[in-house]
Amino acid sequence: MSLTNRDGFSGKFGVIAAAAGSAVGLGNIWRFPYITGENGGGAFLLIYLLAVVLLGIPVILSEFVIGRKSQANALGAFRKLSPGKPWWLIGLMGIVAAFVILSFYTTVAGWTLEYIVQSITGGFHNKSTTELADDFNNFTASSFRPLLWQLIFMLLTAWIVFAGIQKGIEKYTKILMPLLLIMIIVVCIRSLSLEGSYEGLKFLFKPDFNKITAQTVLLALGQAAFSLSIGMGALITYGSYIRKDTPLIKVSTDVALADTTIAVLSGVMIFPALFALGESPAAGPGLVFITLPKLFESMPAGEFFAVMFFILLAVAALTSTISVLEVVVAYLVEEKNMSRPKATIIGAISISITGVLCTLSFGPLKDFKIFDKTVFDLMNYISANILLTFGALFIVIYCGWILKKQPFFEELKISEKIHPILANILFFLIKYFAPIAIGAIAIGAFFIEGLT
Ligand code: TRP
């Protein structure tokens, strides 16, 4: 492997498009609203925002630095920077996380394909929320269609990664993601215009700290990690494709801003409508698949918006799944000397096996529980709250204590000027604040709360 034959991004905008494409996905539009809804709204949002700024941005930056400095995949990066030390285990954990995430993510991504078809064929027409909820439950419980869509989605992902055409995707992402933003804003306006919508805004923006427990803080942190695509090495892998003249701090903050804007707007899209319809915010994973069709149904030209929206949502999911599969493929190619096609096929097939179990969790396997959770719920929980959280923890520990300040900033200074005060704040966050905060939250949630 040499520097010259690594595929690379075309420049700052290419990186932002790809990293934002990875970050913006089902995590923002599907996962964020339902987790926020289940965990008290406003106070959860506040902790989430703090997590993005104080922990998320430092971790994004750390991953980029590790990747660009080492010019290697998530696991190889640590081997190269710290040969003979066990730090590569962080990378290994990331590969495991990639498996776990893709398993349940492709289930939900498959649902978006079903909802494209439903909106084209007028499947939401004149339906009440109860009927839409029944439709959602019946569809997810039926095994064949959800499985078929999941496999189609996995094939699409594999095909893009296989052909190594992320750069082609970049081109479309730059047009499609702003389009998604516009669609979301249109739906927000409709949602806010409904009678009774104010209650939803209050739920989302007015913090009620009585609802906060150590577990909620962990869920907020896990959601931030999931949504920003950190803690897994996806951004290490992407970092290794970033040119030396691309300003990493600027890219990191832009990506975090874009991702968070879409998440918050998704909340503004869902909660006002939900409260206006008199529904419960704690509906779980089906939340947006029930509320959104109802909203479209009540809009002028709603069918058109519904089709567009679900297509863009599927594209957003696709730009995320390729970044996850890329982690596995880059590892197999660079560390196991596999050809790219072979690595893609092996990755996609093995992930599909656990993926099938996730999809069947809503039907035949719904009573099969581990730690009181279905396979889908377990994968969903473990990925964000354990694997990514601990991944992020080890990444900041690595940058703060092993790589150290001087080499860390050497890499950053190649591409941008950094004010010494900013450098000090950043490194304080990476070396002390993030490790202590993430460590304390994880310990608080698992041990203290677990015991009470
Ligand atoms: N961030 C994506 C989303 O919000 C999911 C995702 C893509 C991801 N790549 C990742 C999460 C890497 C963690 C790590 O939908």
151-193 pLDDT per residue, tens: 999 999 999 888 775 666 677 777 778 888 998 999 999 899 9
Q: Show the ligand 1 pocket: residues with CB < 6 angstroms.
A: 22-23, 25-28, 101, 226-227, 229, 232, 234, 320, 323-324, 388
Query: Measured from the CA of 316, which atom of ligand 1 is nearest?
Result: 15
C-alpha of residue 22 to centroid of ligand 1, in Å: 6
DSSP letter at 205 equals H
C-alpha of residue 119 to centroid of ligand 1, in Å: 26
C-alpha of residue 227 to centroid of ligand 1, in Å: 6
**Residue-level pLDDT at 449:** 65
- Look up tokens 């080890």; give the residue: 394
Query: Measured from the CA of 228, which atom of ligand 1 is nearest?
Result: 1
User: Could you write out the three-class secondary structure of 375-398?
Assistant: HHHHHHHHHHHHHHHHHHHHHHHH
**Residue-level pLDDT at 29:** 95
384 within 8 A of 27, measured Cβ to Cβ: no
* Of 318, 312, 97, the residue nearest 225 (C-alpha): 97
C-alpha of residue 244 to centroid of ligand 1, in Å: 24
What is the Cα–Cα distance from 171 to 22, expressed in whole angstroms?
14
Query: Measured from the CA of 232, which atom of ligand 1 is nearest?
Result: 14
Which residues are registered as beta bridge partners of 373? Answer: 370
115 within 8 A of 107, measured Cβ to Cβ: no
Q: Whose CA is nearest to atom 6 of ligand 1?
A: 229
Residue 370 phi/psi, 5-degree rounding, is -120, 130
**Residue-level pLDDT at 303:** 87
DSSP letter at 367 equals T
What is the Cα–Cα distance from 117 to 292, expressed in whole angstroms?
15
114, two tokens: 């079903």
What is the Cα–Cα distance from 177 to 25, expressed in whole angstroms?
10
C-alpha of residue 193 to centroid of ligand 1, in Å: 32
- Residue-by-residue pLDDT tens, the chain, 452 positions: 334 446 677 777 778 888 888 899 999 999 999 999 999 999 999 999 999 999 999 999 999 999 999 999 889 999 999 999 999 999 999 999 999 999 999 999 999 999 999 999 988 888 889 999 999 999 999 989 999 999 999 999 999 888 775 666 677 777 778 888 998 999 999 899 999 999 999 999 999 988 888 889 999 999 999 999 999 999 998 899 888 989 999 999 999 999 999 999 999 999 999 999 888 899 899 999 999 998 888 878 888 889 988 998 999 999 899 989 988 998 899 889 999 999 999 999 999 999 999 999 999 999 899 988 999 999 999 999 999 999 999 999 999 999 988 888 988 889 899 999 999 999 999 999 999 999 988 888 877 666 44
Query: Measured from the CA of 320, which atom of ligand 1 is nearest?
Result: 7
388 within 8 A of 222, measured Cβ to Cβ: yes
Q: Whose CA is nearest to atom 10 of ligand 1?
A: 229
C-alpha of residue 228 to centroid of ligand 1, in Å: 6
299-338 pLDDT per residue, tens: 788 888 899 889 989 999 998 999 899 889 988 998 899 9
Q: Whose CA is nearest to atom 13 of ligand 1?
A: 229
Q: Whose CA is nearest to atom 7 of ligand 1?
A: 320
**Residue-level pLDDT at 200:** 95
CA distance readout (Å), 137 to 5, 27, 337, 358: 48, 21, 44, 15
C-alpha of residue 20 to centroid of ligand 1, in Å: 10
User: Could you write out the three-class secondary structure of the chain?
Assistant: CCCCCCCCCCCHHHHHHHHHHHHCCHHHHHHHHHHHHHCCCHHHHHHHHHHHHHHHHHHHHHHHHHHHHHCCCHHHHHHHHCCCCCCHHHHHHHHHHHHHHHHHHHHHHHHHHHHHHHHHCCCCCCCCHHHHHHHHHHHHHCCHHHHHHHHHHHHHHHHHHHHCCHHHHHHHHHHHHHHHHHHHHHHHHHHHCCCCCHHHHHHHHCCCHHHCCHHHHHHHHHHHHHHHCCCCCHHHHHHCCCCCCCCHHHHHHHHHHHHHHHHHHHHHHHHHHHHHCCCCCCCHHHHHHHHHHHHHHCCCCHHHHHHHHHHHHHHHHHHHHHHHHHHHHHHHHHHCCCCHHHHHHHHHHHHHHHHHHHHHCCCCCCCCCECCECHHHHHHHHHHHHHHHHHHHHHHHHHHHHHCHHHHHHHHHCCCCCCHHHHHHHHHHHHHHHHHHHHHHHHHHHHHHHHC
| CATH tag, 3-445 | 1.20.1740.10
Cβ-count burial of 76 within 10 angstroms (0-12 exposed, 13-18 middle, 19+ buried)? buried
C-alpha of residue 389 to centroid of ligand 1, in Å: 13
Q: Whose CA is nearest to atom 2 of ligand 1?
A: 23
CA 319 centroid distance within chain: 10
**Residue-level pLDDT at 330:** 86
* Of 315, 36, 308, the residue nearest 182 (C-alpha): 308
DSSP letter at 283 equals -
